[in-house]
């Protein structure tokens, strides 16, 4: 098998015979706490690729520009070649995770407005939270690009919230990444899956996301399968 151009915790990126396209391959690995916890779950890559493709197709149909070209098979997608902006963009609709830990806030408070956050993608420094001025000063993006990211991300949040509600799931928070094509166009990239979102059942608040692995409170594969089943049966 060819050597990946890039290997992340859960995915590999391969060159193709087209200079402006990549193949992304989903692995079965799961990590948490910046790699402190690591395990493999047979079939996780297939589930995340399947779920993410359905979501990217929905977003494309709603007018969001993404890296997606086509799903190649269960584990691989063909995407536009982009340079990923070194920012993790996070939206919070309900308090959870690092927001609660950092600020001493209870989990589960519904926020009056979505919170837009950015982290600097840098494992050595633990992906620190940064603001717009930091991102501009570090030349991670321009002011205009950050304004675009905020607007686009809030649109994506509205679309995702409505989408998951159809399946009786509340979108608590999520992380997305953007990339820049060689033409300088910023598009949504990476993945959107239960690895990158917090999803709670509307009635019971049961967790349907990677928190079952982070917190050892459930079976990751059964949880992700349940998300996909909801998405396929409604």
Query: Whose CA is closest to 145, among 78, 198, 83?
Result: 83
191 contacts ligand TMP (rule: CB under 6 A): no
Q: Which residue is nearest to ligand TMP, using beta carbons?
A: 97
The set of residues, in sequence order, having a beta carbon less than 8 Å from that of 78 and lying 6+ positions away, is 16, 21, 22, 23, 69, 70, 71, 72
Least distance (Å) between residue 77 CB and ligand TMP: 18
Distance separating alpha carbons of residues 126 and 92, to the nearest angstrom? 19
Q: Which stretch binds ligand TMP (CB under 6 A): 40-48, 72-80, 89-97, 142-150?
A: 89-97
Stretch that binds ligand TMP, among 18-26, 47-55, 65-73, 193-201 (CB under 6 A): 193-201
173 contacts ligand TMP (rule: CB under 6 A): yes
Comparing CA positions, the residue from 167, 145, 150, 142 lying closest to residue 54 is: 167
Q: Which of 91/141 has CB closer to ligand TMP?
A: 91
Residues 125-154 that bind ligand TMP (CB under 6 A): none
Token digits of residue 21: 């396209």
Does 175 contact ligand TMP by CB under 6 A?
Answer: yes
Residue 197 lies near ligand TMP (rule: CB under 6 A):
yes
Q: x/- string (CB under 6 A) for ligand TMP, residues 98-127? A: xx----------------------------
Q: Does 31 interact with ligand TMP (rule: CB under 6 A)?
A: no
Given candidates 90, 135, 220, 228, which one binds ligand TMP under the rule CB under 6 A? 90
Asked if 196 is part of the footprint of ligand TMP (rule: CB under 6 A), the reply reads yes
One DSSP character per residue, 106-132 reads: -TTPEEEEEEEEEEE--GGGT--EE-H
Residue 224 contacts ligand TMP per CB under 6 A: no
Q: How many residues does the chain have?
A: 234
Please give the helix or strand (H or E) that residue 197 lies within, else none.
Answer: strand 197-201
Helix (H, G, I), strand (E, B) or coil at 198: strand
3-state class (DSSP) for residue 149: helix
Using CB under 6 A as the binding criterion, the count of chain residues that bind ligand TMP stands at 11
Residue 113 CB, nearest approach to ligand TMP (Å): 17
Dihedral sign computed on CA atoms, order 145, 157, 193, 220: positive
Q: How far is the CB of 102 from ligand TMP (least distance, A)?
A: 8
Cα 98 versus chain centre, distance: 16
Rounded-to-integer distance, Cα 138 and Cα 86, Å:
10
Question: In the complex with ligand TMP, which residue's Cβ is closer, 197 or 221?
Answer: 197
Contacts with ligand TMP by CB under 6 A lie at 90, 96-99, 173-175, 196-198
């Amino acid at each position: 098998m060819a050597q990946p151009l890039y290997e992340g915790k859960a995915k590999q990126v391969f060159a193709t015979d087209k200079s402006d396209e990549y193949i992304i391959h989903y692995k079965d690995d799961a990590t948490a706490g910046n790699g402190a916890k690591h395990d493999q779950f047979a079939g996780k890559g297939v589930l995340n690729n399947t779920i993410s493709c359905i979501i990217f197709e929905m977003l494309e149909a709603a007018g969001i520009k993404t890296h997606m070209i086509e799903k190649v098979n269960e584990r691989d997608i063909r995407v536009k070649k982009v340079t990923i902006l070194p920012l993790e963009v996070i939206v919070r609709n309900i308090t959870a995770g690092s927001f609660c830990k950092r600020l001493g806030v209870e989990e589960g408070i519904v926020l009056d407005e979505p919170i837009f956050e950015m982290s600097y993608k840098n494992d050595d420094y633990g992906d620190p939270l940064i603001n717009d001025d930091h991102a501009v000063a570090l030349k991670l993006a321009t002011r205009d690009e950050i304004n675009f990211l905020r607007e686009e991300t809030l649109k994506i949040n509205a679309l995702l919230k409505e989408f998951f509600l159809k399946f009786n799931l509340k979108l608590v928070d999520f992380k997305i990444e953007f990339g820049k094509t060689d033409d300088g166009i910023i598009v949504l990239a990476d993945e959107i899956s239960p690895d990158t979102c917090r999803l709670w059942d509307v009635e019971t608040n049961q967790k349907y996301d990677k928190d079952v692995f982070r917190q050892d409170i459930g079976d990751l594969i059964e949880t992700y399968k349940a998300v996909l089943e909801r998405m396929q049966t409604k």
